[in-house]
Structure 1
């Protein structure tokens, strides 16, 4: 009998309520029984396959801590972009574009998406295959299916992950990724993999973990299916006239280009805005005092990869830089800019030098680094918010030089 999405959600809720007073292991076991009951009807996964793939699975409640901490929504835009679009990532992007030129050319021709954009997604999502994430997907998705919020969503991704493994595209021990279940070179969610992953090199498998051609072709297919318009820009930086009414801004509030030009909006690079009345929205990621952008349909397609405007801007800007473009003309409205990954590694080295046990120097400001930063900020008379900025780095440099 086919089980509807509503019935499936209700079954999960009933299981969670029934297990509310039990310990996590018991609750997880009850939840797995519910998922097993619907796996066949929703994904065509046999009971035998479900049991084989989930044998020994136990919850990892640490993933719940990440549900409400996503940097694209919590970090200032200048911090977020400083770490994602720095000189290091641009240089690596140029190297990867050259190394995989033939593969990118084939994907670009087949899906009508330019190589720089494909490479930029790769760079932002996994640092060109260097950072996949190391959490076993079934553990993370199984936990999120049974605990916390959005259980119905994550249970769908859990079943999709089982379907991938059952089909043999990826081996179980290889399927690791982010806390939320994204995996591979370009970090597809399992349901996205089932819909849009393609075999880029003709070996009969779709492998985003160990096969770069598959990952690049799948990313191009994702953007193509999302409505990518070949030969058109994602947008460009603009300059607003004094006293501009910013209430008309918004990515979704698209208006003809003539609307913006008659209100004094001009391109920051000095080029004329096209006369064609293409619809564009005005994006103000840091308000009217910061960089402003007119964005087109292709920006929305990038946004569809991960629904955050800061994320989409990072990919769009990195693609421009890989094509030879420069940084933004208008500065960010702050006196304490963010740090590049090179600078973050320097900051971590300075924190270690002051005796803070933060772990590896990797340029990733995690919980231990933030705790150490708070201690140093308090010592220096700064706001103890755990933020890694230029002022803190400058102060720690001066302290290290004077010791």
Structure 2
């Protein structure tokens, strides 16, 4: 990225970040308990190396907890969505096409990162897509939270995440204190994940890289910094250069399989073979069987790099999504066996048509973007109820055909 491009992006994002910070942090009536928590935690932060002036600036306009953070904390798609739902939303013709476009645009940078770290450029693109839609999420105020407020909210109101949130809040303030980003620029997800590649503050402190050589590690405004940082995490957690993440396999009928890991050679000996009929290139590697939809869906033998991807997000669906998207960006075909869905799947263009038709009939108020989230599913259910249909909320060809008849 040229310095001119970077400075222009930085100026735009800085303005957006200021809007995000101020829009949700200074309501007319303060929450007394939350305000007391902020005052009390100051001493802890200072004792752990945070400058009191940095702390005071970070919370100068924070008055109440972020209610949206608490709502999102109760819904995590990695653990609630069906496997096919999760993968369909993240591995589709749009994310694959956008990934290939980004490969063309940032090919030299990605090649340089791959040479210096050994981490696959296609894996980095897939992570970038999964984490921020290739940076698109950073331009949408509705998806951004002011990180000090978000983490203080979790520390104050979410017992399960309180310890995590306190440590992340201290780390986030130290990032601003170091000068990598202004306090006002600390924007991210509901859980404090930040920048193009969505690093929580402690992971940022451990792995962040100055990829463009300007003396700062700025994963919000610098694509080189963000991608080098993602590669740094994978490399330092044991990424094996030149190896894949796993293999689609075919299971022999009627047999139960042991849990845990065996060598690929041992898996093959009991009848588990590659779906494409080719031999395993390194039969001595340890592998673990993953069947996220049981025998109704595709099956995979996962090797070391799959579990390294899980150091980014400790969910099988996430790591599988990254692997499948990376392969298809690289030009490999999708799994030979598809997921079993209770409906006929839509393309992204058909999903946009469905949203548009729901909007015209007054059921949907969100963006027409082909992304089927909670708002789209609620609109589909309302439409189904109005027609006396089963209210499953699925964005299906069956629902679209009913809408088309209108």
* TM-score after normalising by structure 1: 0.87
Match of 1:157 among 168, 181, 187: 168
Contact map agreement 2:211 2:228 (CA 8 A) in 1: yes
Q: CA deviation at 1:24?
A: 7.3
Q: Matched residue pairs, number?
A: 372
Contact map agreement 2:262 2:288 (CA 8 A) in 1: yes
Q: CA deviation at 1:56?
A: 1.8
Match of 1:112 among 115, 118, 138: 118
1:146 corresponding residue in structure 2: 156
Contact map agreement 2:58 2:184 (CA 8 A) in 1: no
Equivalents in 2 of 1:339, 1:141: separation in Å? 37
Structure 1, residues 196-231: CA drift from partner, whole Å, max 9, x if none? 111001110000111000011001001001110111
Cα gap change, 1:37/1:85 in structure 2, threshold over 3 Å: closer, same or farther?
same
Q: CA deviation at 1:172?
A: 3.0
* Structure 1 SS opposite 2:322: helix
Structure 1, residues 304-333: CA drift from partner, whole Å, max 9, x if none? 111111111110001101111111111212
* TM-score after normalising by structure 2: 0.87
Match of 1:34 among 37, 40, 49: 40
Contact map agreement 1:181 1:189 (CA 8 A) in 2: yes
Equivalents in 1 of 2:304, 2:332: separation in Å? 20
Match of 2:266 among 216, 236, 259: 259
Cα gap change, 1:342/1:308 in structure 2, threshold over 3 Å: closer, same or farther?
farther
Between 1:214-223 and 1:362-371, the stretch displaced more is 362-371
Structure 1, residues 230-262: CA drift from partner, whole Å, max 9, x if none? 11110011111111214x24xxx1111122111
1:77 corresponding residue in structure 2: 83
Equivalents in 2 of 1:90, 1:350: separation in Å? 26
Equivalents in 1 of 2:345, 2:72: separation in Å? 22
Structure 1, residues 336-393: CA drift from partner, whole Å, max 9, x if none? 2554543332221111011124232233334433322111222344432433334323
Contact map agreement 1:223 1:302 (CA 8 A) in 2: yes
- 1:88-237 matched pairs, under 5 angstroms: 88-132=94-138, 133-149=143-159, 150-237=161-248
Indicate yes or no: 2:62 matched with 1:51. Answer: no
Q: Which runs of 5+ in 1 are unaligned?
A: 1-22
Q: CA deviation at 1:158?
A: 1.6
Equivalents in 2 of 1:290, 1:146: separation in Å? 41
Contact map agreement 2:211 2:224 (CA 8 A) in 1: yes
Structure 1, residues 11-65: CA drift from partner, whole Å, max 9, x if none? xxxxxxxxxxxx97111112112321111222x1122221122112122222111
Contact map agreement 2:84 2:339 (CA 8 A) in 1: yes
Equivalents in 2 of 1:32, 1:173: separation in Å? 17
Equivalents in 2 of 1:275, 1:312: separation in Å? 21
Between 1:98-107 and 1:366-375, the stretch displaced more is 366-375
Indicate yes or no: 2:288 matched with 1:281. Answer: yes
* Structure 1 SS opposite 2:243: coil
